[in-house]
Amino acid sequence: MTDSPNASRIVFIGAGNMASAIFGGMLEGGYPADAIVATSRSQETCDAIGQRYGIRTMQDNLAAVGEADVVVLAVKPQMMRNLCVSLRDSVQSRRPLIVSVAAGLDAATLDAWLGGGLALIRCMPNTPSLVGEGASGLYANDRVSDAERQLATDLLEPVGLVEWVEEEAQIEAVTAISGSGPAYFFLFMESLEAAGTALGLSPESARRLALQTAFGAAKMARESEFDPAELRRRVTSPNGTTERAIQTFEEAGLAEIVSRATRACAERARELSSELGRN
């Protein structure tokens, strides 16, 4: 399957946007193309992925898994049970490291569907992975070795931050903060753009200013020695314009709104896990 004997052989079951972001990042980081395989039920998708990335593609999941060191499960959660059952014998024979990027399915459920006793990692990535600026939360079951943890880190770091959690329940918190988090910031950008237009800017100018401000603030916060609270204080002059706006946010209960929203997100993640596990 590969001409790179020292590289772990990685098989992506599913070649959608998130899988493409991950193996695209791996390739940009220097991972050998001949050590990566992606599968899809669509020959058209296989042809497009193979042409764009230069990796091997297949429609036969069993053949792909048969020589894999790592299997990345990257299909929709609703499809996962049937997929896992179909892969069970091949996975039990080969016993690769399993990495799931499907939301809402816990490690024990996936392991049971795959026949049990496997080293398995759950990964909650987010959509900025598509532009190399993702944030991925990872949880490993107790069969995952230190070397396998490092391998998973190496796979995902090319597309952004990798943050390990030690308790699986914390994956729901990751979902609430970074998994769903991009939508929160998009909503704020959308609102800021609308406010700029209402204040007399053209829609185009309001959008450019809102997006660049969001980008600049995030970059500044990530690179600064100070935390966001201190950065906020440093741009909030007493009795100034920023202070007036911040006071308005605080009077509206922004911190409590964010807390309620993230709790609701985490609760829905728990509900989905229960629902999917029963189906």
DSSP 126: -
pLDDT at residue 2 above 80?
Answer: no
135-188 confidence digits (pLDDT tens): 999 999 999 999 999 999 999 999 999 999 999 999 999 999 999 999 999 999
Question: Which residue's structure tokens are 């995030």?
Answer: 218
40-83 residue pLDDT tens: 999 999 999 999 999 999 999 999 999 899 999 999 988 999 99
| pLDDT for 270 | 87
Report the chain's terminal Cα–Cα distance, integer Å: 35
pLDDT higher than 70, residue 278 = no
Cβ-proximal residues to 6 (8 Å cutoff; 6+ apart), any chain: none
pLDDT of residue 3: 56
Strands 56-58 and 97-100: unpaired
Interval 107-118: pLDDT, tens: 999 999 999 999
The DSSP result for 161-230, as a single string, is EEEE-SSTTHHHHHIIIIISHHHHHHHHHHHHHHHHHHTT--HHHHHHHHHHHHHHHHHHHHH-SS-HHH
Which amino acid does the sequence have at 7? A
- In terms of Cβ atoms closer than 10 Å to its own Cβ (0-12, 13-18, 19+), residue 52 is exposed
Give the per-residue pLDDT at 32: 95
Separation CA 6–CA 16 (nearest Å): 27
pLDDT at 1: 44
Q: Are strands 134-140 and 120-124 parallel, antiparallel or unpaired?
A: antiparallel
- Residue 135 has phi, psi (to 5 degrees) of -135, 115
Dihedral (CA of 155, 156, 162, 166) sign: negative
For residues 111-138, give the mean pLDDT: 95
Question: How high is the pLDDT of residue 272?
Answer: 84
Over residues 229-247, the mean pLDDT reads 96
Amino acid identity at 147: A
Q: What are phi and psi of 141, to 5 degrees?
A: -75, 175
Q: What's the pLDDT tens digit per position in 194-235?
A: 999 999 999 999 999 999 999 999 999 999 999 999 999 999
Confidence (pLDDT) at 7: 84
pLDDT, position 273? 82
- On whether the CB atoms of residues 58 and 9 are closer than 8 A, the answer is no
The mean pLDDT of the chain is 94
Residue 181 has a pLDDT of 97
| CB-CB contact of 77 with 24 (8 Å) | no
